[in-house]
Amino acid sequence: MGLPNGVTRYMIKVPETSCIKWRGQKFYGRPVWMLWLQRAVWEEANGPLGRHETVNQTCSTIGCLTLDHLRKGGRPPRVPASQCLRCGGLL
């Protein structure tokens, strides 16, 4: 798949954290294409991911694209609700 041409010009290095951060368009403070970009960076270095595999970020920097700060993961298991969100009663 690879990264599209010109996408690296929107990446900047943050000296305090050693993160590479997205400086392109943001939506409510979060990068618009973050999940796709993190996946693209991972696949560029490590090969394709499976259909239900995800890329998880290990640092707390919003918009981090540093390969060392990304890890392969899966979707978290769904936990059935045990309490009503309105009244707090048990289901």
11 bridge partner residues: 22
In angstroms and rounded to an integer, the radius of gyration of the C-alpha atoms of the chain is: 17
Residue type, 59: C
Q: State whether residue 59 is helix, strand or coil.
A: coil
Other CB atoms within 10 Å distance of the CB of residue 66: 20
Q: What are 4-13's pLDDT values in tens digits?
A: 666 677 777 8
> Does the model's pTM come out above 0.75?
no
Longest distance between any two alpha carbons in the chain, whole Å? 53
Give the per-residue pLDDT at 30: 63
The label of the residue with tokens 């294409």 reads 33
